[in-house]
Amino acid sequence: MSQPVNDAALNVLFREARTFNKWRPQPVTDEMLRTLYDLLKWAPTSANASPARFAFLRSTEAKERLRPALAPLNVEKTMTAPVTVIIAYDLKFYEHLPKLFPQNPGIAKLFESSPEMVETTAKRNSSLQGAYLIMAARALGLDCGPMSGFDNAKVDEEFFAAGQPCFGCDQEFFAEGHVKSNFLCNVGYGDPAGLFPRLPRLAFAEACSLL
Ligand SMILES: Cc1cc2nc3c(=O)[nH]c(=O)nc-3n(C[C@H](O)[C@H](O)[C@H](O)COP(=O)(O)O)c2cc1C
pLDDT at 120 over 80: yes
Under a CB-based contact definition with an 8 Å cutoff, are residues 179 and 53 in contact? yes
pLDDT > 90? residue 53: yes
Per-residue confidence band for 170, with pLDDT thresholds at 50, 70 and 90: very low
What pLDDT shows up at residue 41?
A: 98
Left (φ > 0), alpha (ψ -120 to 50) or beta: where does 47 sit?
A: left
User: What mean pLDDT is reported for the chain?
Assistant: 94
Strands (E) located in 20-174: 52-57, 83-90, 143-147
pLDDT average, residue stretch 14-35:
98
The pocket around ligand 1, CB under 6 angstroms, is made up of: 18-19, 71, 73-74, 146-149, 183, 198-199
Predicted local distance difference test score (pLDDT) of residue 165 = 54
Number of H helices, E strands in the chain: 9, 4
Give the per-residue pLDDT at 154: 95
Q: What is the DSSP string of 11-65?
A: IIIIIS--B-SSB-S----HHHHHHHHHHHTTS--GGG---EEEEEE-SHHHHHH
Nearest alpha-carbon partner for 111 in 123, 122, 100: 122
The share of the chain scoring above pLDDT 90, in percent, equals 89
Is residue 179 predicted with pLDDT exceeding 70? yes
Ligand 1 atom at shortest distance from the alpha carbon of 145: 15
- Read off the pLDDT of each residue in 36-49 and give the average, rounded to a whole number: 98
Distance 92 CA to ligand 1 centre (A): 29
pTM for this predicted structure: 0.95
